[in-house]
Amino acid sequence: MDELDSEIVRLLQTDARQSNRELARTLGIAPSTCLERVKALTRRGVIRGYHADISLPALNRGVQALVSLQVRPLSRTVINRTKEDVSRMAEVISIFVVAGGDDLVLHVGVQDLDHLHAFLVDGLSKRKEIAGFRTSVIFQQVHNTVLSRLDDPDE
């Protein structure tokens, strides 16, 4: 994981569909070297995949929220079952399993506030294992590029 690898990771985060040739040109290295690096990064699990970034408003999900919730009884089984159940709901974009005041945090996206209300009241409140939740409506989201390793004396 040297400077070149970090740069490859950074560039592929910004644009995952650029060709290997273009990537190599930007980095000033031979395409074969570049391809080898990308394959090695993939093999080592640094690059896990490539995903299209989809506009949620364009898919009729203009309203997003973070929903922090607590489950009871608090056990591995209940956490996992709740996680799997909510992951099947179309409104749920991603799920964090956390520790702190909350047990799960859901990132949800829905058409409008009426549907958010329906999701909370009909989708979550009815589940006995969900003891409580708190909703924060999202106004903006900013994504940061993960630049490289944080400073690390080793390696």
Which residues contribute to the site for its own copies (CB under 8 A)? 9, 12-17, 44-56, 58-61, 65-66, 68, 83, 87, 90-102, 105, 109-111, 115, 134-144, 146-150, 152
33 binding DNA? (CB under 7 A): yes
* CB of residue 32 to its own copies, shortest distance in Å: 18
10 Å Cβ neighbour count for 34? 21
Residue 80 binds DNA (CB under 7 A): no
29 touching DNA, by CB under 7 A: yes
Please identify, using beta-carbon distances, which residue of 44 and 117 lies nearer to DNA. Answer: 44
Q: Which run of H or E residues covers position 71?
A: strand 63-71
CA distances from 152 to 2, 7, 85, 146, 149 (A): 12, 17, 39, 15, 7
The item of its own copies, DNA, none sharing an interface with residue 91, based on CB under 5 to 8 Å by kind, is its own copies
CB of 55 to DNA, least distance (A): 18
SS3 of residue 74 by DSSP? coil
Kind plus residue range of the DSSP H or E element containing 68: strand 63-71
HSE-CB of 61 using CA atoms within 13 angstroms: 16
Binding footprint of DNA on the chain (CB under 7 A): 4, 19-22, 29-33, 35-37, 40
